[in-house]
Amino acid sequence: MKSARIIVWITMVFIFSSGIVAFIKASNVSQTNHRLQKEVQTYQTKLDRASTNISGYSPLLNNYMQEFLKFYLTYPNNTDDMDKRNQSLSAYYATNLITNDQAGKDNQTFNKAYLQSIYTQQGVKIAQYYVNYSVNNNPTSGYLNIPFKVKDSKFTVVSYPYFSNKIDPVGHIGKLQSKYSKDNQTTSVNLNNQVTDFTKSFLKKYAAAKTSDMKFIMANPQGLADNYKIVNIQNLRVYGTKSNPVVQCLLTLKRSDSDIEHSENVTLKLSKQQTTYFVDEFNHNIGGD
């Protein structure tokens, strides 16, 4: 009987210990599964943000952009038609983009457009179109970039379109740019004034100079070769540090051969160069994913 009791106690201790070990293992497995689920969800969220659910050419995207371009590249020279044009554009723009273009004496009409490329810049999907339009019946053309987002086969233009050179498919897209807020704005009046003065001077040179003339002041040179004039620089804000400030503003340009204007969002990432600054990055957006 004594041996039987010992065996029973040993068996009970074994069963109890096994239960504790099993419980600990189950808890560890549960925690591991929960952590893995969170990691998978995080990766999926990042993937969703980086993807537009389309690959290359999309007839649905092209149809949307063709309709948008018909309105965007049409500039009537009378107020009523311009108001109708602005109202039509508001259906395509994100809710925080304002459409209040004013009619002038010049007239612009849309002719045709071809999808050139779909690419990603600083986390934003952009459709580049080769566009042909006429200013006062004089045909002209260029490469227009349209930042957009898509979800459930619905598209939205999320930043003002801008003209640039034809996209070179060889190169690096770059890294995702963070959003900035009032908390990131510089509190130094001296730094703010220095960066503001540099930005205004740089943008004037950018509008007037050729791309080849900008290589001494920009990492990736761009220039509009005096095809556009600066009308206004608004909402200029300075972020970052003294050595590496960041500037964001709304740039309004006017064609040199007409009074037709358009606006572009601009972000400049700068680095201090003795008494001036160097433009490490020049992006036509205000950041974000």
CA distance 242 to 112: 46
By the 8 A CB rule, do 195 and 277 touch? yes
Task: State the pLDDT at residue 157.
Answer: 96
CA distance 205 to 199: 10
CA distance 13 to 93: 71
CA distance 108 to 267: 29
- With both helix axes pointing from N to C terminus, report the angle between 59-72 and 79-90 in degrees, rounded to the nearest 10: 150
Share of the chain above pLDDT 90, in %: 59
**CA proximity to 73, closest of 260, 245, 277, 279:** 260
Of the segments 29-38, 39-48, 118-127, which one has the largest average pLDDT value? 118-127
CA distance 141 to 222: 18
Task: State the pLDDT at residue 30.
Answer: 64
- How far does Cα 168 stand from its chain's mean position? 18
If pLDDT is split at 50, 70 and 90, which confidence band does 136 have? very high
- Backbone dihedral angles phi then psi of residue 129, each to the nearest 5 degrees: -120, 140
**CA proximity to 221, closest of 280, 142, 143, 144:** 280
In the chain, count H helices and then E strands.
Answer: 4, 9
pLDDT, one tens digit per residue, over 29-40 is: 666 666 666 665
The residues facing 16 across adjacent strands are none
Task: State the pLDDT at residue 78.
Answer: 93
Secondary-structure percent of the chain, ordered helix, strand, coil, rounded to 5: 35, 35, 30
Which has the minimum average pLDDT: 13-17, 79-83, 139-143, 264-268?
13-17
Which position has the token pair 């395509």? 92
- 233: Cα within 13 Å, side-chain hemisphere: 19
DSSP letters for 117-150: EEEEETTEEEEEEEEEEEETTEEEEEEEEEEEEE
pTM over the 0.85 mark: no
Task: State the pLDDT at residue 48.
Answer: 45
Higher pLDDT, 31 or 66: 66
In this predicted structure, the answer to whether residue 244 has a pLDDT above a threshold of 80 is yes
If pLDDT is split at 50, 70 and 90, which confidence band does 288 have? very low
pLDDT, one tens digit per residue, over 166-218 is: 876 655 545 544 467 777 788 788 899 999 999 999 999 999 999 999 999 99
